[in-house]
Amino acid sequence: MIAFQQSDAFLRAARALDWPVAAREDAGLRWIEHWRGPRWPSPVRLVSRGPGCRDWLAARGAEPCVTLLNAEGLSPGDLRRAGYWPLMTPVTLARLPLGPEAAMRARMAQKWRNRLNAAARTGLELRHVPMPAEADHWLLQADAAQARRAGYAAWPPALVVAWAVTSPGTAVLFEARVSGRPVAGLILLRHGPGATYHVAHSRPEGRARHAMQALLWEAMLWAQAEGVREIDLGAIDTHGGRGLARFKLGTGARPHRLSGTWGHHKVLAPLARRLPLSWAA
């Protein structure tokens, strides 16, 4: 599955926001770059989950800029031999395969399935609509507030708004309501045969009614009907965020380990190639 940061929909939204992004092609491969800092004397190029290919690594090593690569599908040995320095340890994602309804239910953990069944008895009103292009939408504001409280970086609400405008129908809002009041919501971003679970928030009343299980199930059924083969549920942390990791993996999602974040500059590349293998593990 192509990561959402490498999708055409992301590129259109980023350009609408005037972010410094560019799509490049070489040797039959295509990827999206995000630039930081001044272009002179040496800008920083970010490539998030770009082509997992040794030839691509070798070709990029000849360029004069600093590259930060959030790698996928590449071994530490490949990255080290191409002159990349390890900067951050790999993240593990939860990737949820879709398919026939019975097969999706069968892959769920028993407790997750029980909560989904319980949610159906709580009187939740479920709906899904194209995401409104409103930066002050309650779900985007709730997610931003949650990120501030927890101290983690989140994509800005403007990205969802731009995505909804530039790729109509592919940013979808799923909402659970009680007596017309929203108690939980999630936003799914569709990109080609994949989709990303981008934003989700549940209020106390929604949590008491297992609203997020109901919403994610609705999102799975919608995505499967749209031809989506897999949903990226985002990062899992089995140490600091065990509850969220259990929720994501309980859907039947499979852990998928990325290759870590690596840096490259042609001046430092010869030293990087001589790093002990243990540094690149």
How do 85-88 and 260-264 pair as beta strands? antiparallel
CA distance 74 to 53: 7
Give every CB contact of residue 91 below 8 A, 6+ residues apart in sequence.
Answer: 235, 257, 258, 260
Pick the CATH number of 93-256 from 3.30.2230.10, 2.40.110.10, 2.40.10.220, 3.40.630.30: 3.40.630.30
CA distance 216 to 222: 10
Q: What pTM, to 2 d.p., does this model score? A: 0.92
Domain coordinates in residue numbering, the chain: 4-91+258-280, 93-256
Q: How far is CA 154 from CA 43, 149, 279, in A?
A: 23, 12, 29
Among residues 191, 145, 181, which one has the least CA distance to residue 14? 191
Decide: 11 and 170 in contact? Cβ < 8 Å: no
Q: How many residues does the chain have?
A: 281
Task: Split the chain (281 residues) into runs of 10 and give each run's mean pLDDT.
Answer: 93 97 85 76 81 71 79 88 90 97 98 98 97 97 91 90 98 98 98 96 97 99 98 89 93 96 88 74 51
End-to-end CA distance of the chain: 25
SS3 54: helix
CA distance 106 to 101: 9
Tell me the two tokens of residue 216: 């994610």
